[in-house]
C-alpha cells in the first residue's frame, strides 16, 4: 500500500518540471512514510538514472542531465510485505523493466510458485517482483491471476511500452491529466497542484451531482475539469512515440466484467461455499509482516470477518490476536453500537479500542479530513471513520480490516428490500410480496401500511417516468429511479451509487494515517459468488443478507439477527448543532463560489463543500 507518481513528456522533462514532480511526491508523504524512490528513464534509448533512493542514500538534485530523460517514476512506500530494502520501488525487473505499484496482491505466494515452476527466479519476497515476473511471463493476461487491489505503471523495456492497470473494482485509486505532450499519473488529485502549468477548475457537472444528491465517484470524472480516474477493471498499453492527447481516456481496455448470471443452488451448498470463500478471503488478507486490526461495529459484516479471522488464527496456529477498533457515541441510542460491539468482543474474545468522534472533534481535524479527501463529503460518518483510523495509528497498527462491499453484493441496504418488493409486484407475485412485507414489518417493528406506501410510491414514480410525466434534472437520480430489479440495483450500487465513494473515502482516510485498509468482501471470488445467488438467498423471511446470517452459525443470535441497520450512523444533527458556530464560517466560502443562496438544505454538505473550497483554494 503506497503512493505513486508518474510524469511523461514526449520530448524531455525539464529541470522545472522535475522540481514540480518532487513536490507532487511530497504531497503524498502520508501514503508511504517508510521509503521513497525515483527513477528517470529515456524511453527512446532505455537509459535510466536513479535520482532518489533512501536505501541507497541517493538524493540527486535536478540538473541539465534531467533533460535527457522523458519519463519519471516516483514511489512512496508503506512497508507491509517484505519490510526489507528488497521491497524498494521503483523496482527494476531482470529484463530491465521498471514498476511502480500501489496495493497488494494477496495471492502473490501462489502466483510466485506457479512462476517458479515455469523457470522464474526471485530475489525478493515481495508481491511487487511477482507482478514484474508475471507480466514478463504472461503479458497483460497476468491480471487475471491476481487476487488483490492495485494500481500500477510498468515500463516494458523490451517493447518500450507503458502498461497501466487498475484492479477489478477500483479499490486503489489512479488519476491522470493529459495534454498534447504527455501525461501525469497520480494516486491523489492533490498531487497535480504541484505543477505550475496545470490549472484545476471545478467540473460543474460533478459539482451539481454532489449538490443535488451527494453523488461523487460515479464515473471516471472528478471534481476537476479534465482530471480523470483510470477506469476500474481496465488496462492500457501505450507506445510513447505515438502518444497523442487523450490517448489514455480513449483507449483503455476492459479486462474484467462481473458475471451476474444467477444460478440454481441449494441453500446448504450456498452456505458451505460462502464460508469457504470468506475464510479464504480473510486468510489471504491476513498475510502481512506488520500488525493488523479489525473494524468492529457489532454488525453482521464486520463480525463475520472477525469470526473467520479467529478460525484462521486457530487453524494456522498463528500468534496474532484480535484487536477491534470502533467509534462509539455514548448517550446517543440511535447511533451508539457499544452494546453489540461488547457482545462480539466478549464472545470471541477480542480486545476493543474505542474513540468518541463527537467528543474528540476539532475544526482543525475537520479541515484536515476534507483536505485529504480531495472531494467534498456528504455525511459525518466519514468523519467518524477518520477518527477510527486516527486511533488505529496511535496504537501502531498498520492494517485495518473492514466490511466494505458486503451490502452491495448481499443486499444490505434498506432500498434493496423496497426495490425487490417493487420487482415482485411488477411481476404480479402478490403472495410472495405480501408474505415478505409482513415478515419485514414484524422484524423492523413498523406498520405494513408504511412499507406498502413506499413501494407503491416507487411504482407510481416509475410509471410517471415511463409516461414522460415525471422528469428529473439530475441524470443520476433519473437512472436510480429507472432501475426495476434487485439485480440491477445491486450492480448499480456496486459500480456507481454507493461503493465507489465508500472506497475512495476509505482509501483517503486510511492512507492519511499511513494505514492499509483491507476488504475481504471485495475478494472477486466472493463478489462473483454473491452475484450468482438467487434473490431468495439474499432476501428471505424478511431478512436481508440472508445467506450471511445463515452461514455464520457461530455468531451470537443477538448479532446474527440484529433488527436494526445502522451503517456507521452518527448523531449528525447533535454533532452539527454542538459545533454550529465553528461550522457556520464555511458557508461564506461556498457562497463566494456558488452565489448567495445555500446550495443544499443538508447542513453537513454545505459545511463540507465550503471547507473543501477553503482548503483547496478553488
- Cβ contacts of 145 within 8 Å, gap of 6 or more: 107, 111, 114, 134, 138
Locate CATH 3.40.50.620 in the chain. Answer: 267-406+498-534
Locate CATH 3.60.20.10 in the chain. Answer: 2-103+151-254
* 477-510 pLDDT tens trace: 889 988 999 999 999 999 999 999 999 999 999 9
Between CA 106 and CA 2 the distance in angstroms is 15
Between CA 529 and CA 527 the distance in angstroms is 5
Question: Please, what is the Cα angle at 482 between 481 and 486, to 5 degrees?
Answer: 85
Between CA 529 and CA 217 the distance in angstroms is 25
- 0.85 surpassed by pTM: yes
Fold of 2-103+151-254: 3.60.20
pLDDT band for position 567 (cuts 50, 70, 90) = low
CB 125 within 8 A of CB 86: yes
Between CA 142 and CA 138 the distance in angstroms is 5
CA distances, 462 to each of 7, 318, 467, 471, 476 (Å)? 48, 54, 9, 10, 14
| pLDDT in the model for residue 599 | 61
Asked whether residue 129 carries a pLDDT value surpassing 70, the answer given is yes
Q: Three cell numbers at 176?
A: 491522470
Asked whether residue 592 carries a pLDDT value surpassing 80, the answer given is no
* 521-544 pLDDT tens trace: 999 999 999 999 999 999 999 999
Between CA 159 and CA 138 the distance in angstroms is 14
Q: How many CA atoms, within 13 angstroms, populate the side-chain half-sphere of residue 412?
A: 26
- Cβ contacts of 132 within 8 Å, gap of 6 or more: 91, 93, 94, 97, 99, 154
Between CA 358 and CA 574 the distance in angstroms is 9
* 85-116 pLDDT tens trace: 999 999 999 999 999 999 999 999 999 999 99
Asked whether residue 557 carries a pLDDT value surpassing 70, the answer given is yes
pLDDT band for position 291 (cuts 50, 70, 90) = very high
SS3 (DSSP) at 39: strand
CB 274 within 8 A of CB 529: yes
Asked whether residue 578 carries a pLDDT value surpassing 60, the answer given is yes
- pLDDT (average), residues 314-336: 92
| pLDDT in the model for residue 179 | 94
CA distances, 321 to each of 136, 296, 515 (Å)? 38, 14, 18
Q: Alpha helices of 286-413 — where are they, by DSSP H?
A: 300-315, 338-347, 357-360, 363-373, 381-394, 406-410
Asked whether residue 33 carries a pLDDT value surpassing 60, the answer given is yes
| pLDDT in the model for residue 148 | 98
pLDDT band for position 462 (cuts 50, 70, 90) = confident
Between CA 330 and CA 207 the distance in angstroms is 35
| pLDDT in the model for residue 261 | 81
* 557-564 LR contacts (CB < 8 Å, sep 24+): 558/340, 558/343, 559/298, 559/299, 559/300, 559/303, 559/340, 559/343, 559/344, 560/300, 562/298, 562/299, 562/300, 562/340, 563/443, 563/444, 563/445
CATH superfamily of 267-406+498-534: HUPs (3.40.50.620)
User: Secondary structure of the chain: what % helix, strand, coil (to 5)?
Assistant: 50, 15, 35
Between CA 189 and CA 371 the distance in angstroms is 11
Q: Which of 312-321, 382-391, 586-595, 600-609 has the lowest mean pLDDT?
A: 586-595
CA distances, 582 to each of 84, 362, 365, 395, 525 (Å)? 46, 9, 12, 29, 46
| pLDDT in the model for residue 566 | 66
- pLDDT (average), residues 418-435: 96
- pLDDT (average), residues 4-21: 95
Q: Which helix (H) or strand (E) holds 50?
A: strand 48-53
Give just the sign of the alpha carbon dihedral 89, 92, 98, 101.
Answer: negative
Between CA 164 and CA 229 the distance in angstroms is 12
The phi, psi pair for 80, rounded to 5°, reads -125, -45
CB 50 within 8 A of CB 37: yes
Q: Three cell numbers at 194?
A: 504541484
Between CA 233 and CA 255 the distance in angstroms is 6
pLDDT band for position 598 (cuts 50, 70, 90) = low
Asked whether residue 466 carries a pLDDT value surpassing 90, the answer given is no
Please return the burial class of 313, using the count of CB atoms within 10 Å of its CB with bins 0-12, 13-18 and 19+.
middle
Asked whether residue 175 carries a pLDDT value surpassing 70, the answer given is yes
Amino acid at each position: 500500500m503506497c503512493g505513486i507518481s508518474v510524469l511523461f513528456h514526449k520530448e524531455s522533462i525539464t529541470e522545472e518540471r522535475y522540481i514540480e514532480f518532487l513536490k507532487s511526491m511530497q504531497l503524498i508523504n502520508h501514503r508511504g512514510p517508510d521509503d521513497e524512490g525515483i527513477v528517470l528513464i529515456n524511453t527512446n534509448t532505455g537509459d535510466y538514472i536513479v535520482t532518489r533512493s533512501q536505501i541507497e542514500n541517493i538524493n540527486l538534485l535536478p540538473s541539465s542531465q534531467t533533460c535527457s530523460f522523458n519519463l519519471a517514476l516516483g514511489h512512496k512506500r508503506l512497508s507491509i510485505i517484505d519490510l526489507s530494502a528488497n521491497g524498494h520501488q521503483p523496482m527494476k525487473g531482470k529484463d530491465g523493466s521498471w514498476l511502480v505499484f500501489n496495493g497488494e496482491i494477496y495471492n502473490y505466494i501462489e502466483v510466485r510458485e506457479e512462476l517458479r515452476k515455469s523457470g522464474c527466479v526471485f530475489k525478493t519476497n515481495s508481491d511487487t517482483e511477482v507482478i514484474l515476473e508475471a507480466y514478463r511471463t504472461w503479458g497483460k493476461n497476468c491480471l487475471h491471476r491476481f487476487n488483490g487491489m492495485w494500481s500500477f505503471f510498468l515500463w516494458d523495456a523490451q517493447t518500450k511500452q507503458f502498461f497501466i492497470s487498475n484492479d477489478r473494482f477500483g479499490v486503489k485509486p489512479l488519476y491522470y491529466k493529459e495534454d498534447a505532450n504527455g501525461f501525469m499519473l497520480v494516486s491523489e488529485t492533490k498531487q497535480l497542484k504541484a505543477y505550475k502549468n496545470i490549472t484545476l477548475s471545478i467540473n460543474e457537472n460533478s459539482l451539481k451531482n454532489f449538490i443535488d444528491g451527494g453523488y461523487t465517484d460515479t464515473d471516471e470524472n472528478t471534481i476537476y475539469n479534465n482530471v480523470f480516474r483510470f477506469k476500474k477493471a481496465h488496462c492500457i498499453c501505450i507506445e510513447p512515440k505515438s502518444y497523442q492527447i487523450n490517448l489514455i481516456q480513449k483507449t483503455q481496455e476492459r479486462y474484467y466484467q462481473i458475471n451476474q448470471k444467477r444460478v440454481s443452488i441449494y441453500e446448504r451448498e450456498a452456505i458451505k461455499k460462502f464460508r469457504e470463500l470468506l475464510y479464504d478471503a480473510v486468510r489471504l488478507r491476513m498475510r502481512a509482516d506488520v500488525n493488523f486490526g479489525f473494524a468492529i461495529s457489532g454488525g453482521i459484516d464486520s463480525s463475520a470477518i472477525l469470526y473467520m479471522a479467529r478460525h484462521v488464527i486457530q487453524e494456522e496456529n498463528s500468534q496474532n490476536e484480535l484487536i477491534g477498533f470502533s467509534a462509539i457515541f455514548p448517550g446517543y441510542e440511535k447511533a451508539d453500537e457499544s452494546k453489540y460491539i461488547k457482545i462480539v468482543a466478549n464472545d470471541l474474545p477480542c480486545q476493543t479500542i474505542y474513540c468518541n468522534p463527537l467528543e474528540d472533534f476539532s475544526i482543525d481535524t475537520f479541515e484536515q479530513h476534507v483536505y485529504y479527501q480531495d472531494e467534498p463529503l456528504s455525511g459525518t460518518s466519514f468523519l467518524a471513520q477518520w477518527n477510527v483510523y486516527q486511533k488505529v495509528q496511535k496504537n501502531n497498527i498498520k492494517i485495518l480490516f473492514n466490511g466494505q462491499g458486503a451490502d452491495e453484493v448481499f443486499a444490505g441496504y434498506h432500498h434493496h428490500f423496497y426495490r425487490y418488493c417493487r420487482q415482485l409486484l411488477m411481476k404480479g407475485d402478490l403472495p410472495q410480496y405480501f408474505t415478505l412485507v409482513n415478515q419485514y414489518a414484524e422484524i423492523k417493528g413498523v406498520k405494513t401500511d408504511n412499507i406498502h406506501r413506499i413501494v407503491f410510491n416507487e411504482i407510481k414514480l416509475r410509471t410517471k417516468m415511463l409516461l414522460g410525466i415525471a422528469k428529473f434534472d439530475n441524470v443520476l437520480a433519473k437512472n436510480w429511479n429507472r432501475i426495476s430489479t434487485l439485480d440491477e440495483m445491486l450492480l448499480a450500487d456496486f459500480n456507481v451509487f454507493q461503493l465507489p465513494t465508500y472506497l475512495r473515502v476509505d482509501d483517503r482516510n486510511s492512507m492519511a494515517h499511513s494505514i492499509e485498509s483491507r476488504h475481504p468482501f471485495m475478494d472477486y471470488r466472493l463478489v462473483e459468488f454473491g452475484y450468482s445467488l438467487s434473490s431468495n438467498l439474499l432476501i428471505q423471511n424478511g431478512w436481508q443478507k440472508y445467506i450471511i446470517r445463515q452461514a455464520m452459525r457461530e455468531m451470537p443470535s443477538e448479532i446474527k439477527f440484529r433488527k436494526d441497520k445502522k451503517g456507521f450512523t452518527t448523531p449528525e444533527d447533535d454533532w452539527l448543532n454542538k459545533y454550529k458556530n465553528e461550522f457556520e464560517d464555511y458557508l461564506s466560502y461556498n457562497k463566494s463560489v456558488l452565489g448567495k443562496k445555500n446550495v443544499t438544505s443538508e447542513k453537513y454538505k454545505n459545511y463540507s463543500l465550503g471547507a473543501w473550497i477553503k482548503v483547496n483554494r478553488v
